[in-house]
Structure 1
Amino acid sequence: MRHSTFRQLEVFDAIMRLGSFRKAAEDLFLTQPTVSMQMKKLTQTVGYPLFEQAGKRVFPTEVGRELHKTTREIFDDLARFDMALADLKGVRRGALSIAVVTTAKYFAPGILGRFCERYPTIEASLKVCNRAHIIERLIANKDDFYILGQPPEEIEVDAEAFLANSLVAVASNDHPLADQKQIPLRRFAEEPFLLREPGSGTRAATERLFAEHGLKVRVRMDLESNEAIKQAIMAHFGVSILSRHTIMMEIASGHLKVLDVEHLPIARSWYVVNRKGKSPSLVASAFRDYLREYAAESNRLGP
């Protein structure tokens, strides 16, 4: 095992968590052949099979389960080291200010909450605004970081993708298109649309998709929140394209349905952004490192 690499163990851990080479590849932003190659090398190092195939899922062998126990111990030890190192660097005290666009409110509190569990003496604040207000705060340099679906082009910023953000077609669960497969985008465009206000990143992505295929969105209503859009969809006012993060509860409860529409979902990412050249505090640096860790290890809110 001395010849195995940390990356191989990361890939192995992702497969164990997700039960699929494909999902592990998506989770780690790798290609599936790369994941397969990493596991082939790790298997050769161990000298025994680590997984068994059963349909589309893979299951660990007894050797695989034993290796996973050791892998988790290694990762836990490294996490404890990170915390100790943070203490030595002075991250035990300080303040952190994060501002996020409204769609990010469905996952950002959980990420920030787990960060604060790691550093319980840090004072953290989370502000939720529409994109226009986020840009205003960014220009004024009011916060440590900003989370957006698309970095602004009008300001020089440092931006880093850290989480998948799939935009999906959404309708009520009893919509005429709800049970259809491979719906043409042109047919979907015939439906009345409920969209966020002009300037919204989700709206811009929707309009760009339709324009690329020579179509135009039939806007029935502009709404200033995702909650209002979801309620309007359930009331049969129309359809929409929304971030999958915003509809997880409604999908689980059966009130909304993700439609199978060609050219969808739109693959996007969430970005952590700050003014270009800004020197982060120790606390801000620790939060950015945590987001990188989150992206590499869990990205579990993605599709």
Structure 2
Amino acid sequence: MQSRLHAHIGTIRQLEILLAVHDKGGINEAAKALFLTQPTVSIQMKKLADAVGEPIYRLSNRKLVFTDVGLEMVKTAVEVLDSFARLDMSLGNLRECKTGTLRIAVVTTSKYFIPHLLGPFCEQFPEIDIQLNVGNREQTIERLKQGIDDFYVFSHPPIDADFNSIELLQNPLVAIAHQDHPLAKQPHVSLTQLCQAPFLIRETGSGTRHAIEGFFKEHDVTPNVKMTIESNEAIKHCVMAKLGISILSAHTLTYGGQHGLVRLPVSALPINAKWFFVWSKSKRQTLIADQFLNHVQTNGKQLLEDELQRNGIDT
């Protein structure tokens, strides 16, 4: 017998609200993003839960956590809304205006150069909308597994996900210190000296930390970790405040500004990480996503390399 679940689940708008609650992490945040009242969003979520006869989410330590049923609904909502998006883009393509939405999720450090990839593409297709989600590695991996976005950018893609990828750029990780730090005045800095100084490191799960821990393990040394910080910008400000030294992507200095920071001349550095452009094998690409992938593989990659070289980063 044909399923009649769709007759109970409700409207496309309810699915949009469901995705907003999931992506924003709460009822209030989703209401603000959709310009709706909090009660309106709550009512629509309750209707969806009643329709499937199971809770969609629960509260844990005052944080909204989606149930397995809720996550399955999110996955289906993405597929349904993408179908309408593909129809919209197909019709737009027939009208030769390439309308639609391109969804990209990137890890935090790549936010510095991704706009330089998007800029020329948006000039070519000015009618499209861009949804750019910036999160840590674990958050971006979760979005990849759920197939929420068209493309993803990682420095260390997951090994257990079904995806295609291409190498996008070099991602050199360099040691940084305040310009007045004693190590900044030395012509050469050893790994031993680096590890003796108070060290600031990204949180567990970040791609930068993953690369740094592999580097220290390879060289059989242990840093003197004094602070764990969940943001590249926060690490930079802590280094500027003379709280310690760190290892960060050279992109954070080039595009984010150096403000009294210097690269330490450590012979074993930089760590030669890479950026990867990733997309799900199982997710059917929209027309505009196909256009963007072609842009990345042709002009986009070269444009990024040229931009980084102009800013002093070796690619």
CA distance in 2, matches of 1:130, 1:115: 25
Contact 2:164 2:279 (C-alpha < 8 Å) held by counterparts: yes
Give 1:89 shift: 10
Letter in 1 for 2:274: S
Q: Assess, with a 3 A threshold, how the Cα gap between structure 1 residues 161 and 127 changes in structure 2: closer, same or farther.
A: same
Unaligned 5+ segments in structure 1 are 1-86
Cα RMSD after superposing both structures:
2.1
String of CA shifts for 1:41-94, please: whole Å, max 9, x gaps: xxxxxxxxxxxxxxxxxxxxxxxxxxxxxxxxxxxxxxxxxxxxxx78967122
CA distance in 2, matches of 1:238, 1:91: 52
CA distance in 2, matches of 1:88, 1:269: 38
Matched position secondary structure for 1:237: coil
The match for 1:115 is 121
Letter in 1 for 2:157: P
- Taking structure 1 as the reference length, the TM-score comes to 0.67
User: Among the aligned pairs, what percent are the same residue?
Assistant: 44
Structure number with higher relative contact order (C-alpha < 8 Å, ≥ 6 residues apart): 1
The answer to whether the aligner puts 1:161 opposite 2:162 as a matched pair is no
Contact 1:109 1:126 (C-alpha < 8 Å) held by counterparts: no
CA distance in 2, matches of 1:295, 1:265: 22
Unaligned 5+ segments in structure 2 are 1-92
The match for 2:262 is 257
Matched position secondary structure for 1:260: coil
Residue in structure 2 matching 1:97, options 92, 100, 103: 103
Give 1:177 shift: 1.0
- Taking structure 2 as the reference length, the TM-score comes to 0.65
Contact 2:103 2:131 (C-alpha < 8 Å) held by counterparts: yes
The match for 1:301 is 308
- What is the number of equivalent residue pairs in this alignment? 217
Residue in structure 1 matching 2:139, options 130, 133, 148: 133
The match for 1:32 is none
String of CA shifts for 1:262-298, please: whole Å, max 9, x gaps: 2111112211111224332221111112122222354
CA distance in 1, matches of 2:171, 2:94: 35
Q: Assess, with a 3 A threshold, how the Cα gap between structure 1 residues 227 and 276 changes in structure 2: closer, same or farther.
A: same
The answer to whether the aligner puts 1:276 opposite 2:265 as a matched pair is no
Matched position secondary structure for 1:98: strand
Contact 2:200 2:244 (C-alpha < 8 Å) held by counterparts: yes
Q: Assess, with a 3 A threshold, how the Cα gap between structure 1 residues 89 and 279 changes in structure 2: closer, same or farther.
A: farther
CA distance in 2, matches of 1:149, 1:126: 17
